[in-house]
Structure 1
Amino acid sequence: MIKAPALSCFLSALVLSPLCALAHDDQKLEFTPFVGYRLDGDFEQTDPLTGTETELSLKDKSSYGFIIAWPYSDQRQGEFLISHYQTDFTSHNPVSFSANNKIDVTYMQVGGNVPLTHGLVPLSLSGGLGLTYLAPKSSRFDSESKFSINLGLQTKLPINEQLAFRIDARVFATLFDSDGELFCSEQGCIASVSSDLWLQGEITAGLSVSF
C-alpha cells in the first residue's frame, strides 16, 4: 500500500517553493484551458440484506478544467489546477439503487513543475496537493471533501512566443480513512473504501497562453 505521509512530504517540497515566489515574481503568467479523459475510481458497496460486498465503479469519461502557472526560477513553475468531470456509478449488484446515478468529481490543487529533459519533446515532473470534492447528483446523499495529492508528467510544444500545446498525464490520490463510509443519507451509506488512497488517472491536452 502506498504510504501517504511519504508522498505528502515529497509534494510539499514541490509545492511550497513556487508558492513562496508567487508574491514577488513579475514574469508572465500562463493560462491553460484543457479537455481530458478521467480513468478508474472504484469503491466498495455492501448489500444491506446479505452483507455481500460488490464493486461500485465510476465510468471512465471526459473531463475539463484549467491550469494557471507562474514561473519562479530556472524554468520551474508554480501551478493552480482545477479539473472536473461528471460520471455515472456502475455497480455489479443488480439491485443497487446507484446504477443510474451520477456524481461530480472535482480536483482543486496547488503545486508546481520542474523540468526533467530538454529537447524536441521536453518533459517536466508535476505535482500538487489540495482537495477532492465528490458530489452525488441525488440530493438524498451527502457530498464529500477530502485531502488529495497528484503526481504526473507534462510536456509543452511551443507554437509561438505566446502559445504552446500542453499535454499532461497525472495520477490523483485522495486520502480516506480505511473502511470509511461515503455518500450517506438517513437510510445509510452507499459506498466505502478499503485502503488509505483512492486513485484516479487523467490525461489532458490544452492550449497554454502566456500574458
Structure 2
Amino acid sequence: MHWHIGKWFFPRQFSARVAMRAALGVTLLAVAGTAAAQAPVDDYPNYEITPFFGYMAGGEFEDPASNTDRDIEEDNDFGVIFNAAADQWRHYELLYVQQSSEIGGAIPLDLDVQYLQIGGTVSNPDAKRVIPYFGLTVGAARFSPDQSGLDDETKFAFTVGTGVKVPITERIGVRFDVRAFVSLLDTDGNIFCVSDEGGGACAIRTKSDTLLQYHAALGLTIAF
C-alpha cells in the first residue's frame, strides 16, 4: 500500500477568487511537501506482516453422557497475518491464529485451537488515512485436547472478516480485524475420541455440522 496526500475538493458556491486563493495555497503546500508525498500511486509496499493479539469467543459442543452444553470458553488469542500485494487495493493473505482455552463442564477439558488459512482482502482504493477492507480465507482448523488418549481433530474451515488499516508512516501502521471462523465437523457427531485399542469412547459430541467462533484483534503492521 501507499499513502499519499489526497485531492482537495471545493463546493461550487465558492467564488473564483476563493478558489484561486485555495489553489495557490494547495500549490505552495505541494511544493513544500516531502518526496514521499510526491511518490507515484503505484509505488506501494509488496508485502505486509501483522502480528496481532485478540480475543476469541464462540464454539459449542455437547456432553454425550448428560446432553448438556459444553462450550469453548472465551479467551485471548494471538497470531500473524502475512499479505502479498496483487495491486494497491487487493492483497493475498496468509493467516495463522491460536487460542489456548478449555471446554467447560463438570470436568473442564483444556483445548488448543489453531487456524491456518489462505485467501485475500480487498480494500477501498480511495481511502488514505483509514482504510476499510473485506476478506475471505479457506484452510484448516486444528483442535487439540490436552488429555491423554484423546485424538486431535483437523477440520476444513473458512473465515469471513472485515476491519480497518490505519497507516502511521509509509511502512508502519495498525490494523483492527473482526472475523468469523467456521469449521465443518463430521456428521457422526463425535469428536475427541480415544485412540487406543481399549475402546472407542468419545469425550465430546458436536451440536451441529459447523462450529462457529469469532474474534476481534489489534495488530501492528510492518510493510516492506
Q: Report the TM-score range of the alignment, normalised by the length of the smaller protein.
A: 0.7 to 0.9
Unaligned stretches of 5+ residues in structure 1: 1-25
**1:87 maps to 2:101:** yes
Shift of 1:121: 3.0
Q: Which moved more, 1:118-127 or 1:73-82?
A: 118-127
Q: Which residue of 2 aligns with 1:35?
A: 53
**1:195 maps to 2:208:** yes
Shift of 1:115: 1.4
Q: Which residue of 2 aligns with 1:17?
A: none
**1:106 maps to 2:114:** yes
**1:134 maps to 2:143:** yes
Shift of 1:85: 1.0
Q: Which residue of 2 aligns with 1:163?
A: 172
> Considering only aligned residues, what root-mean-square deviation do their CA atoms show, in Å?
1.7
Cα-to-partner distance string for 1:74-121 (whole Å, 9 max, x where unaligned): 411000010001101112xx4xxxx23211000000010011573643
Q: Which residue of 1 aligns with 2:159?
A: 150
Between structures 1 and 2, the one with greater strand share = 1
Q: Which residue of 2 aligns with 1:23?
A: none
SS of the residue corresponding to residue 112 of structure 1 reads strand
TM-score normalized by the length of structure 2: 0.74
SS of the residue corresponding to residue 34 of structure 1 reads strand
Cα-to-partner distance string for 1:46-86 (whole Å, 9 max, x where unaligned): 11xxxx31111111000000011011024110000100011
Q: Quick check: 2:61–2:204 contact (8 Å CA) kept in 1?
A: yes
**Paired letter, 2:191:** L
SS of the residue corresponding to residue 73 of structure 1 reads coil
Unaligned stretches of 5+ residues in structure 2: 1-43
Q: Quick check: 1:169–1:201 contact (8 Å CA) kept in 2?
A: yes
Q: Which residue of 1 aligns with 2:5?
A: none
Q: Which runs of 4+ in 1 moved over 2 A?
A: 116-122, 177-180
**1:173 maps to 2:182:** yes
**Paired letter, 2:165:** K
**Paired letter, 2:61:** F
Q: Quick check: 2:133–2:162 contact (8 Å CA) kept in 1?
A: yes
Q: Which residue of 2 aligns with 1:207?
A: 220
User: 1: distance between equivalents of 2:166 and 2:211?
Assistant: 32
